[in-house]
Amino acid sequence: MKFIACLAFSALALSPALSTAQEVTDIGSRLELFVDGALIASQENVRLVMHPPHDEGIAVPFDNPWEGGFSGYATVIKDGDLYRLYYRGLPEAGKDGNEAETTCYAESKDGITWTKPDIGLFEVRGRKDNNVVMAQRAPVTHNFSPMLDTREGVPDDQRFKAIGGTMKSGLIAWVSADGKDWKKLQEEPVILNEMVKYKYFFDSQNLAFWSEAEGKYLCFFRVFVDNIRRIAKTTSDNFIDWTEPVLMEYQHRGGESPIDHLYTNQTSPYYRAPHQYVSIAARFMPGRQVLNEEQAKAINVNPKYFKDTSDAVLMSSRAGNDFYDRTFLSSFVRPGVGAQNWVSRTNYPALNVVQTGPAEMSVYLNQDYAQPTAHLRRYSMRIDGFASAQSDFAGGELITTPIKFSGKQLEINFATSAAGGIKVEIQDLEGKAIPGFALEAAVEQIGNEIERVVIWKNGSDVSSLVGQPVRLRFVIKDADLYSYRFGE
């Protein structure tokens, strides 16, 4: 059974009357999601609702001799029409950064059906006909995490970049022209141990990406603070020189946010809204044992890997912020049915969310860890469908903080019942309806679409309001509003 997590706020606590002096946010033509409340001034009978994804089954089994039960730390990259998957191959448990760890590769034309090409670069376990793109490169192969560098003017031979390493080695940078044949960017690590002031770090998947919104590279990596797994961030203009790391904090509008153990953070710019960073993180519950020894033996899990459990949580951040918004504290992906889903270090999300259909996007989870059945599993979501602003049949309304925009029309991603609908009013800073865009002039939007153009009696053209501080008032009845943007 699927479940829904939500967060409702008092309309009085977020009253528009408080906001006449509020800062005006210029959103231009960018997409705005409802994964946080950053642009919400007030809500009345509207709640932010998280929508966990749908289980689509096994995507990639880790069934080659050089893969196995300890494969993990996966990254999925959509490179034009090709989907690329990278993951650690490791058949048996071992010390972090040992020589048995490899980096494996698979690819797909749709993100759904995957193949493991015979790359033939390295001999592993006596075979060169394999899908390994990196071997004999310890400790980098422990947590090798690639990215597609979208920075304008990046050299062709550095189109792909990656980082990997442990506390002993520091984080070492690698580059590639084709995503398969990799070389070091430089011999020395780019993020050094002495840069990190915490006791223990780098021992899980550490990731980097080019931020279009910030115009710099960002790296998010694991640290320990007060014996709790936390996330730190550093930035760079050139992928070589990085700033002093800062610890990411947490904000929760409903009160204090828990400081969970986050094993991997999987933070990435959302591909339709690069200023909004989405983190589908692995929440680790050390010592929270579910299985007894008999149950663990029945699924043939490694005896050292059933004393803890984990799931996936949804967080977000915005360009320039040094904190994660934790609007939703409940699980984004709960462990599935069966003992195999309740072992240590399973249910770890892969890095990146990618589009896999006209109205669908997917996230992938590493499951059945430390077991013969280890695999990567696909979960699907509606495009922009992490969360929504939702109201029931009684109806409600949500009013944004002051914004400025560019574009000729307002587009919404929404879904209603047959009896439901959404109307939009555009207001001035005092909360008064702007003539021509009042609620009375709004045409009710009914249906289920990714990009519906909002219409008033005089049409959809809002270009007369470009550059003018306004508020949006969404009146919602038995419907979900996933995102909005001003387009051309």
pLDDT, averaged across the chain: 94
What pLDDT score does 5 carry?
Answer: 44
Q: Is 230 helix (H, G, I), strand (E, B) or coil?
A: strand
Residue range 394-412: mean pLDDT, rounded: 98
User: How is residue 240 written in tokens?
Assistant: 């070589």
Contact 260, 312 (CB under 8 A): no
Q: Which CATH number does the domain 54-382 belong to among 2.115.10.20, 3.30.300.10, 3.40.50.200, 3.10.450.350?
A: 2.115.10.20
Beta bridge partners of 208: 219
Q: Is 481 helix (H, G, I), strand (E, B) or coil?
A: strand
* Alpha carbons 45 and 417: distance in angstroms, whole number: 17
Domain boundaries, the chain: 5-51+387-487, 54-382
Q: Give me the sign of the Cα torsion angle 372, 263, 201, 315.
A: positive
Reported as a single tens digit per residue, the pLDDT across 246-260 is 999 999 988 889 999
* Alpha carbons 145 and 139: distance in angstroms, whole number: 12
Residue range 269-293: mean pLDDT, rounded: 98
* Alpha carbons 315 and 329: distance in angstroms, whole number: 9
DSSP state for residue 470 in the 8-state scheme: B
Quick one: which of 377, 372, 335, 376 has its CA closest to 69?
A: 372
Q: Where are the beta strands (DSSP E) in 36-118?
A: 40-44, 47-50, 54-61, 72-79, 82-89, 102-108, 114-115
Reported as a single tens digit per residue, the pLDDT across 442-482 is 999 999 999 999 999 999 999 999 999 999 999 999 999 99
Q: Which residue reads 């550095």 in tokens?
A: 158
Residue 8 has pLDDT above 80, yes or no: no
Which are the contacts of 95, defined by CB distance < 8 A and separation ≥ 6? none
Residue 22 has pLDDT above 80, yes or no: no
Chain CA centroid to CA 429, Å: 33
Q: What percent of the chain has pLDDT over 90?
A: 92
H/E stretch holding 47 reads strand 47-50
Beta bridge partners of 383: none
Per-residue confidence band for 21, with pLDDT thresholds at 50, 70 and 90: low
Residue 10 has pLDDT above 90, yes or no: no
Quick one: which of 438, 387, 469 has its CA closest to 27?
A: 469
Reported as a single tens digit per residue, the pLDDT across 427-448 is 999 999 999 999 999 999 999 9
* Alpha carbons 481 and 232: distance in angstroms, whole number: 32
Reported as a single tens digit per residue, the pLDDT across 60-88 is 999 999 999 999 999 999 999 999 999 99
Cis peptide bond prior to 139, omega within 30° of 0: yes
Reported as a single tens digit per residue, the pLDDT across 303-320 is 999 999 999 999 999 999
Quick one: which of 21, 130, 157, 148 has its CA closest to 75?
A: 148
**5-51+387-487 classified as CATH 3.40.50.970:** no
H/E stretch holding 294 reads helix 293-298
pTM here is 0.94
